[in-house]
């Protein structure tokens, strides 16, 4: 009898072991870059539910396959990496009527595109577009309202510069907004005016954008049609993200929690979402944020409350970044502060005392210095904690501030493509010496910082391959000879992928369950069609995603 019981026990244990080895999804025959320092490479991955249960050789992981129950992906030697985590992305519904002006070199193209959109619109309907960059124009001059006035006499037109910190508007908008040559610049903003006539040129910088009034946009669509159009815009945005392997998104500032809840309920949410709020010194508003944070806690994996976003300055491209010294090409200005330092510091200290994570848009060397100073003051007054406050962009730094990031535990949240977009005019605007502290990735890492990479989409394209290319080459997208712009700051491809995955997860306090291909980590995985670790740099931006897996589910496949 005892022998029979023992035999039954062995059989039950064997069945149990087989059951434990079952996987819902298995990837075999891959070149798996895990980003796990303890186990950097593997061939295969087993996934159960939404988590990774094992990594190893294809032979080992094949034991998890149950015929008819396990989905098997043969990577056939392709590179397998964690899903991309965009640490700074202005994500939301895409507008099919938005006039896309990215990479425009001939300003007359703007005129023609506005004219075409006006022809499709009714009088009074708002015309929006953007991503133009005057430094790419053949004459490198700021555009003016004359470029669009003649083709838009009866429509408000608002066209954002690529960085979003300046807009071009037509005379219709200026008149509707009451902006004249006598209108003073608001604090932290500039109404660009003709040096001869004093009339507004149509360019509004920074807080001056807030003066724009376009009235109620006229449309023939019903509220139901408008709502459906917006819903379809969200679906288009998520489709773009999963096709590019972006499995996590961190939205600075505000976004609509309810819509993302609805998308998740309907099975349409294919990227994990962090949503922050705009930072304010208003304590009552901060109390409201606390309630929102309770609804979307850090323990969640899909829709979470993120960080509080503030601005301290503008951009290099718009000539509004806050600098210690005047701009080299415009000595009349050292940029713009969005608020006085004392007010800014008080706001940061208050939010920190309430336990919030803070991220501040900081581009100029003085802007970043102010941000570090405010975070340091918060530690002195409130006590040091693992706050992981962030400098969003951290673009231009004085050398003595570089080690302060690690010392204060501040995350440099950076977007590599800004480097290769802005390097065309950086030296002209700030001079060679200050460029030594521009996009100082290697210096920050050597000083002990953990970087978080993203895109600043839609300021830059969402495609992570462009960011990886920028980080390892610091060269123009069209390619160029030499070692790249200030090549001592370049990263390796492995490092670049790490900061686009685990680094970004660390910035959102999720490095314990996301950003690596590791047992018990969320199964957010991407398979690409080229070996990013070995291909020539000219092939990096040509690399495409073949599979995107989020939470163990294949949400995109190229069909190959």
Domains of the chain by start residue, with CATH: 99-211 (3.10.310.70)
Averaged pLDDT, 444-465: 96
pLDDT for the residue 559: 77
Count CA atoms closer than 13 A to 165's CA, side-chain side. Answer: 25
> From the CB of residue 2, how many other CB atoms can be counted at a distance below 10 Å?
6
Tens-place pLDDT, residues 236-277: 999 999 999 999 999 998 899 999 999 999 999 999 999 999
Q: 97: which residues sit within 8 A by CB, 6+ positions away?
A: 117, 120, 121, 128
Averaged pLDDT, 337-351: 97
Is the pLDDT higher at 87 or at 9? 87
Tens-place pLDDT, residues 468-526: 999 999 999 999 999 999 999 999 999 999 999 999 999 999 999 999 999 999 999 99
Percent of the chain with pLDDT strictly greater than 90: 86
CA atoms of 50 and 550, how far apart (whole Å): 8
- Is the CB of residue 287 less than 8 Å from the CB of residue 308? no
- Helical (H) or strand (E) element with 84: strand 84-86
Report the SS3 class of residue 417: helix
Phi, psi values for residue 300, rounded to 5°:
-70, 160
Closest CA to 491 of 424, 437, 443: 443
Tens-place pLDDT, residues 405-436: 999 999 999 999 999 999 999 999 999 999 99
- What is the DSSP track for 272-321? EEEEEEE--S-HHHHHHHHHHHHHS-TT-SSEEEEEEEEES---TTTT-S
Tokens 């994996």 label which residue? 301
DSSP state of 522: B
- Is the CB of residue 346 less than 8 Å from the CB of residue 281? yes
Tens-place pLDDT, residues 291-303: 999 999 999 999 9
Closest CA to 415 of 365, 371, 362, 492: 362
pLDDT for the residue 102: 87
Phi, psi values for residue 203, rounded to 5°:
-95, 125
Report the SS3 class of residue 415: coil
Q: 295: which residues sit within 8 A by CB, 6+ positions away?
A: 257, 305
Q: 320: which residues sit within 8 A by CB, 6+ positions away?
A: 165, 166, 190, 205, 206, 313, 314, 335, 336
Handedness of CA 217, 221, 225, 228 (dihedral sign): negative
- Is the CB of residue 491 less than 8 Å from the CB of residue 467? no
pLDDT for the residue 291: 95
CA atoms of 527 and 83, how far apart (whole Å): 9
Tens-place pLDDT, residues 364-409: 999 999 999 999 999 999 999 999 999 999 999 999 999 999 999 9
Structural tokens at position 419: 């480097």
pLDDT for the residue 345: 98
pLDDT for the residue 214: 81
Q: Is the pLDDT of residue 337 over 90?
A: yes
- For 29, 83, 262, 474, 524, the CA distances from 548, given in Å and listed in that order, are 17, 7, 22, 27, 8
């Amino acid at each position: 009898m005892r022998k029979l019981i023992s035999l039954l026990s062995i059989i039950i244990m064997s069945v149990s072991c087989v059951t434990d080895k079952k996987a819902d999804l298995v990837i075999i025959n891959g070149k798996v870059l895990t980003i796990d320092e303890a186990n950097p490479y593997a061939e295969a991955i087993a996934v159960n539910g939404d988590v990774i249960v094992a990594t190893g050789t294809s032979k080992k992981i094949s034991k998890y396959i149950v015929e008819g129950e396990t989905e098997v992906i043969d990577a056939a030697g392709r590179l397998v990496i964690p899903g991309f985590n965009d640490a700074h992305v202005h994500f939301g519904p895409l507008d099919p009527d938005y006039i896309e002006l990215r990479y425009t070199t001939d300003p007359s193209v703007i005129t023609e595109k506005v004219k075409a959109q006006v022809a499709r619109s009714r009088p009074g309907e708002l015309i929006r577009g953007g991503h133009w960059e005057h430094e790419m124009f053949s004459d490198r001059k700021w555009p003016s309202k004359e470029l669009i006035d003649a083709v838009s006499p009866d429509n408000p037109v608002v066209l954002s510069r690529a960085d979003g910190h300046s807009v071009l508007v037509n005379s219709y908008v200026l008149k509707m907004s009451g902006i004249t040559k006598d209108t003073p610049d608001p604090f932290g903003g500039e109404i660009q005016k003709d040096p001869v006539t004093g009339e507004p040129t149509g360019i509004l910088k920074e807080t001056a954008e807030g003066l724009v009034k376009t009235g109620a946009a006229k449309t023939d669509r019903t509220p139901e049609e408008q709502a459906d159009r917006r819903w379809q815009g969200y679906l288009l945005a998520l489709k773009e993200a999963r096709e590019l392997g972006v499995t996590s998104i961190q939205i600075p500032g505000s976004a609509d929690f309810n819509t993302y809840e609805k998308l998740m309920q309907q099975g349409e949410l294919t990227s994990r979402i962090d949503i922050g709020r705009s930072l304010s010194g208003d304590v009552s508003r901060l109390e409201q944020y606390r309630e929102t944070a309770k609804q979307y806690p850090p323990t969640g994996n899909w829709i979470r409350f993120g960080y509080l976003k503030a601005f301290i300055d503008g951009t290099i491209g718009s000539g509004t970044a806050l600098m210690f010294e005047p701009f080299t090409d415009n000595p009349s200005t050292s940029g713009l502060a969005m608020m006085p330092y004392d007010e800014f510091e008080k706001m940061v200290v208050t939010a920190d005392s309430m336990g919030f994570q803070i991220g501040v848009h900081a581009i100029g060397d003085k802007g970043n210095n102010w941000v570090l100073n405010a975070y340091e003051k918060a530690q002195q007054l409130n006590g040091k904690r693992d706050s992981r406050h962030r400098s969003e962009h951290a673009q231009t730094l004085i050398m003595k501030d570089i080690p302060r990031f690690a010392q204060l535990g501040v995350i440099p949240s950076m977007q590599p493509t800004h480097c290769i977009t802005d390097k065309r005019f950086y030296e002209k605007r700030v001079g060679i010496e200050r460029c030594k502290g521009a996009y100082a990735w290697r210096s920050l890492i050597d000083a002990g910082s953990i970087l978080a990479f993203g895109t600043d989409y839609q300021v830059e394209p969402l495609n992570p391959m462009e960011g990886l290319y920028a980080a390892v080459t610091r060269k123009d997208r069209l390619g160029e000879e030499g070692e790249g712009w200030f090549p001592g700051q370049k990263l390796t491809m492995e490092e670049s992928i790490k900061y686009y995955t685990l680094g970004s997860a660390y910035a959102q306090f999720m490095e314990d369950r996301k950003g690596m291909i590791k047992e018990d980590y969320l199964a957010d995985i991407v398979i690409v069609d080229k070996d990013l670790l070995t291909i020539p740099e000219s092939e990096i931006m040509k690399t495409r995603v073949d599979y995107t897996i989020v939470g163990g589910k294949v949400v995109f496949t190229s069909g190959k």
